[in-house]
Structure 1
Amino acid sequence: MTESIIAALITGGLTLMGVLAANNKQQAITDTKLDELTREVREHNDFARRVPVVEEQIKVMNHRISDLEEYHK
């Protein structure tokens, strides 16, 4: 009876160590993916912040071009 209990404890301990090792590896992968996603979101936010500025500059340039076209008619 005690041999089966010892075998079960050893098996359970080895299983627990395997699960913990796999969990640590998976956590590292998740952290890496999360860091990459965070970087991409920051890049997108920077782009989204700059687009209205570029749109305004294009609007001004179009207005100036229109003024020059009218001037040369």
Structure 2
Amino acid sequence: MSTEIIVALIGLGGSAIGSILGIIASSKLTLYRIKQLEEKVDKHNSVIERVYHLETQDAVINEEIKVVNHRLTDLENK
């Protein structure tokens, strides 16, 4: 085999290895970023659930305050 063919095959092998390593590194980075985004989404969903729970409690407390105020008004009128 001539030296040009051997050099071409070595270059091809190097390029293939470089491409494969680049794809693997890119894949790892993408998976890491997706994992980070999933964690942020989980935190966000947790906050949304807590806010919903607090709003529900607030509505109940407001209704109880209305009832107490109505009872006080009734007692004051007697």
Q: TM-score range by the shorter chain?
A: 0.7 to 0.9
Q: What is the distance in 2 between the residues matched to 1:56 and 1:29?
A: 41
Q: Shift of the alpha carbon at 1:54? A: 2.1
Is residue 52 from structure 1 mapped to residue 55 from structure 2 by the alignment? no
Q: What is the distance in 1 between the residues matched to 2:54 and 2:39?
A: 23
Map residues 24-43 of structure 1 onto 2, 5 A cutoff: 24-43=24-43
Aligned length, in residue pairs:
73
Q: What is the distance in 1 between the residues matched to 2:55 and 2:20?
A: 52
Q: What is the distance in 2 between the residues matched to 1:45 and 1:72?
A: 40
Residue 11 of structure 2 corresponds to which residue in structure 1?
11
Extract unaligned runs of 5+ from structure 2.
74-78
- Percent of aligned pairs sharing the same letter: 27
Letter of the 2:43 counterpart: E
TM-score by length of 2: 0.73
Q: What is the distance in 2 between the residues matched to 1:28 and 1:12?
A: 24
Secondary structure at the aligned position of 1:26 is classed as helix
The structure number with the bigger radius of gyration is 2
TM-score by length of 1: 0.77
Q: What is the distance in 2 between the residues matched to 1:59 and 1:49?
A: 15
Q: What is the distance in 2 between the residues matched to 1:72 and 1:65?
A: 10
